[in-house]
Structure 1
Amino acid sequence: MSATATDPNLQHLTQAREQIAQGDLKNAALTLNKANAQWPQDPRVFMLGGLLAEKSGNVKGAFEALRKSVSLAPDWGPGLLELALLLARQNQFQEAIETAEKVATLEPQNLQVLAGVIDIAHRAGHLDMAIRHLRRGLDLVPGDVALRRLLARDLSDQGQHEASISMWNALVQEHPADAQSLVGHVQACIAAGNPTGARDSVAALLGLAPDDAVYQYYARLAHGETPGQQPAELTRAIFDNMAEFYDLHMVRGLKYQLPKQVGDKILARHPDKKINVLDLGCGTGLLGVCLGRLDGALVGVDPAMKMIEQAARHNVYDRFHTVNLHDALRETPAALYQVIAALDVFIYAGEVTQAIPNAHRVLAPGGMMVFSFEAAPEQGPDMVLQPVGRYAHKRSHVEAVCESAGFATVEIEETVLREENHTPVPGFVVTAYKAA
């Protein structure tokens, strides 16, 4: 007996899945209608209907279809997994995690389920869950390189530096020309506060790609230097990867309130909104959302195109430039903006000795600059690169640079920038005014 005879919907379902994958949504809908007419209670039809609805931009319809699939087959792994993944993509993490754990219990040997569950754990920032399932995956597929890389990275992020570096060392020994493992080892050493321990891996990376700006940056760290800024290629990759869920992660997860606080400060000074604003490191446009449409120009600058794509959805920015902060300031004409903001940007942009004077030049008379910084100890260097890979600045140094640049008034407010691992990150906000 043929598969089609025992499963009369199989041909329709296979065709619909291929049509959805190819973006042929109209014909996929017609195919699913045929399948539904043939077997109205087939949970697979509703599962694929959910994927089709999401592809069409109908998130509500996607949830309805996937929940219907699960109601028809409560213990069917594929339907549960697709629901969990949709929940995670829509940042509904608590239910996503509960559903993912259920499907992992139902299908503990299924590697596709394992991959989905690990993805959900990472999206939710649930490292304990991710590590647990990665270890389970390595029991199923001992020695798997991709799983070992993910586990080593998660261990580093969780602060288990010795275990992480040990795993990276093993991967590098087994695959000495594998750039991903070499980079992972370098990053783990930096996170552990021992960048010099990565010298051999950095040398191997430069042997593979001598002109790579990120590898050159790592080489300087490995030899005890503090580069003035992170290369755009590094920050771009970081933020492109997190653009989709950045807003929720920052505001809800890390309790990031700076855009609201700074937006209120700007609007209090300019209630008529007749201003030009340069938002350096605009990210997904959180400051723009707080400012709303201006009777002037709101210009966003960010090296990460995917972050800019998210910012553009708010429909408040007039234009964007995909460059880093230093290039943007250097190339902007003088006296063009009433406000320049850079929130959580110098933690990557680093050096202020040229950026702040350039900001003063770019500001119109009477203009306002608002920059935020993570705080470095006053008894140490003017700027330090922390093990987490972000720059911290000494308050007195930033204040002195502002005064030397010619700002008439410099106000500095100590604040908690956000939380990290449920611990407040101390910093300060500089508001400097150019003479009218």
Structure 2
Amino acid sequence: MAARDHRATLQRALRAHQSDRLDVAERLYRQVLQWHSAQPDALHYLGVLCHQRGRSDEGVELVRAALEITPRHPDAHNNLGNIHKECGRPVEAEACYRRALECSPGHHNALGNLAVVLEVQERLDEAFEAYGALLQQAGDDARGHYLMGLFLRNHAQHMEHLEQAAACFRRSFELDERGLRALEALGVTLYALQRRDEARQVYRDWLAREPDNPVPRHMLAACGGAEAPPRADDAYVRELFDGFADSFDEQLLKNLDYRAPQVLADALGAVLGAPASALDMLDAGCGTGLCAPLVRPYARHLAGVDLSGGMVDKARVRGGYDTLDVAELTAYLQGHPAAWDVVLSADTLVYFGDLQEALAAARAALRPGGWIAFTLEAMDEDADRAELTPSGRYRHTRRYVERVLAAAGFELPRITPDALRREAGQPVPGWVVLARVPSSVAGETA
């Protein structure tokens, strides 16, 4: 087979890969490697594809094999760093990004990724320096301005940092009008600056351009510019998290000091006893699968469900689940009566204002003696209510949570205050909630 034919097959593989036809791409990459086992591009991109399909260890070995052949390939070093980053290995990722920058000092993606993993490691001065270097080298890079805006907002120590963050988000959107996350971040930041009319105008302008987009519609309501819905629309949640899937873990874990999965797992551990791999468990709103490694030791069968297909794809890469489904949560629970010993939900019900239907569905999906465990954002007042906040999420009072748990048929509620994340440099108050289905109920068998 001539080298020209190798290249033609490789180009077909790359086109298939870019259009998410992963089965076709994998077959073609492997065909190239049958003809030419040391073809570095086929090794490199097959490694990336293996990681995308949940075979990250295989992906690492393939990219390393490519780098043995072409050791000064900056894109391969950068992609190897991305695999390590997405597998939660920031130290290894940092080394890869630094090697990419040794090979190509102007590699903007590697520099931005280096800043991200420095921030993950809480080396904030170094991260700020790297973000600044990225903007100096590539002042027209929309992603760089967006990342700097997030850094400034999430580590803000005074209002000037929020003003600077807003300017970064504006510039990011000016450079790339497809970058709607920057527009949403701008609205949230303006509201945090108490420039509420400006925040609402951001969403009104966005809606005027895209009248069918659920994100600005929901966020306009969150800022008080329209009536708040009883829960976030499915289309909003799907659009938000599908667009957020690729950077979800790094944004939550590095910028927001996200603790909900660990806190929830600790609370469950206090009532479940020693892990015995004996329980049927559902991660309701599993996202990218952050809860899986924490609760897997308790589970005989661990299922995950999420409305966002993009998030479920990431959970599949992380692993730990026996089954994963893309579905709306309440309907999924209603379709699985008495299926679970534990239903846990880390920061999913924050997109529900009215919890009654979801908790009733969870109650029906649990067996006698089963536990529900979930987190909410807390409203600290003596009232029975929930409200939509400018973040686009809902918060609830303790009295409201107690009432809906009782109405759904749960007992022994435990509602503990905790800070589950940070925003704009400040902790966001939350509730960690556990409650149990009675062990013996008329019509049910324990």
CA–CA distance in structure 2, aligned partners of residues 54 and 145 of structure 1: 24
Q: CA deviation at 1:67?
A: 5.4
Q: Following the alignment from structure 1 to structure 2, what is the Cα–Cα distance between the partners of residues 250 and 145?
A: 20
- Are 2:117 and 1:115 aligned? no
- Measure, in 2, the Cα distance between the counterparts of 1:346 and 1:125: 28
Q: 2:351 aligns with which of 348, 351, 359?
A: 348
In structure 2, the partner of 1:261 is: 266
Structure 2 CA distance for aligned equivalents of residues 333 and 90 of structure 1: 31
* Secondary structure at the counterpart of residue 307 of structure 2: coil
1:172 and 1:55 map into 2 onto residues whose CA distance is 30
Contact kept? 1:344, 1:373, Cα under 8 Å: yes
Aligned residue type for 1:164 = A
Structure 2 residue 201 is matched with structure 1 residue 200: yes
- Counting matched residue pairs gives 406
The structural deviation recorded for 1:320 is 3.0
Q: Does 1:305 align with 2:302?
A: no
1:282 and 2:296 aligned: no
SS at match of 2:212: coil
Cα contact 2:108–2:134 (8 A) shared by 1: yes
Per the alignment, in what secondary structure is the counterpart of residue 373 of structure 1?
strand
Report the Cα distance in structure 2 between the residues aligned to 1:85 and 1:174, rounded to whole angstroms: 25
Task: After TM superposition, give the deviation of residue 304 of structure 1 in Å.
Answer: 1.5
* CA distance in 2: counterparts of 1:311 and 1:178, whole angstroms: 24
Which structure exhibits the higher relative contact order, with contacts defined as CA atoms closer than 8 Å and separated by 6 or more residues? 2
Quick one: which amino acid aligns to residue 11 of structure 2?
E
The match for 1:320 is 325
Distance in 2 (CA, whole Å) between partners of 1:269 and 1:190 is 45
- Which whole-Å CA distance do the structure 2 matches of 1:266 and 1:125 have between them? 35
| Aligned positions of 1:2-13 closer than 5 A | none
SS at match of 1:432: strand
d(CA) in 1 for partners of 2:153, 2:147? 10
CA contact (8 A) 2:140 2:175 kept: no
With over 3 angstroms needed to count, the CA separation of the structure-2 counterparts of 1:233 and 1:13, relative to structure 1, is same
Q: Which moved more, 1:200-209 or 1:97-106?
A: 97-106
Say if 1:146 and 1:334 are closer, same or farther in 2 by CA, change over 3 A.
Answer: closer
Write out per-residue CA displacement over residues 352-396 of structure 1, whole angstroms, 9 at most, x where no aligned residue: 244334444554555433232233323578435556554333223
d(CA) in 1 for partners of 2:297 and 2:6? 46
Normalising by structure 1, we get a TM-score of: 0.71
For 1:217, the aligned partner's letter is H
| 1: CA distance, partners of 2:258 / 2:199 | 30
The 2-side partners of 1:359 and 1:402 are apart by 10
Is 1:97 matched up with 2:99?
no
Matched residues, percent identical?
21
User: What CA distance in whole angstroms lies between the structure 2 residues aligned with 1:267 and 1:375?
Assistant: 25
**CA separation of 1:197/1:133 partners in 2, compared to 1, >3 Å: closer, same or farther?**
same
| CA shift for structure 1 position 69 | 4.9
Residue in structure 1 matching 2:14, options 5, 18, 21: 21
Q: Is the 8 A contact 1:202 1:222 kept in 2?
A: no
Aligned partners of 2:280 and 2:300 also within 8 Å: no
**1:250-288, CA deviations, whole angstroms, 9 ceiling, x for partnerless residues?**
789745424533554564499794x76544213326266
Quickly say closer, same or farther: Cα 1:30–1:308, change in 2 above 3 A: closer
What is the TM-score normalised by the length of structure 2?
Answer: 0.70
Unaligned runs of 5+ in 2: 16-24, 441-446
Query: Residues 121-153 of structure 1: CA distance to partner in whole angstroms, max 9, x if unpaired?
Result: 446655766664554454445445554445445
Q: CA deviation at 1:425?
A: 5.8
Question: Is residue 375–residue 394 contact of structure 1 (8 Å, CA) maintained in 2?
Answer: yes
Aligned to 1:236: 238
- Cα distance in 1, alignment partners of residues 296 and 194 from structure 2: 37
What is the match of residue 165 of structure 1? 166
Q: Return the alpha-carbon distance in structure 2 between the equivalents of residues 201 and 107 of structure 1.
A: 38
Q: Which amino acid aligns with 1:308?
A: V
Aligned to 1:292: 299
1:349 to partner: Cα distance: 2.8
Amino acid across the alignment from 1:344: D
Q: Which residue of 2 is the match for residue 61 of structure 1?
A: 61
Q: Give the Cα separation in 1 of the matches to 2:321 and 2:176.
A: 48
RMSD, matched Cα:
4.6
Instruction: Report how far residue 200 of structure 1 moved.
Output: 1.8
Give the counterpart letter for 1:260 in structure 2: A
The correspondence for 2:371, drawn from 358, 368, 371, is 368
Whether the 8 Å contact between 1:53 and 1:59 is mirrored in structure 2 is: yes
Q: Find the structure with the greater CA-based Rg.
A: 1
- Which residue is equivalent to 1:3? none
For 1:254 and 1:52, the matched residues in 2 are separated by 32
| C-alpha distance in structure 2 between counterparts of 1:343 and 1:251, whole Å | 14
**CA offsets 1:231-260 (integer angstroms, 9 cap, x no match):** 333433454456568679878974542453
Secondary structure at the residue paired with 1:257?
helix
- Determine if contact 2:284/2:304 at 8 Å carries over to the other structure: yes
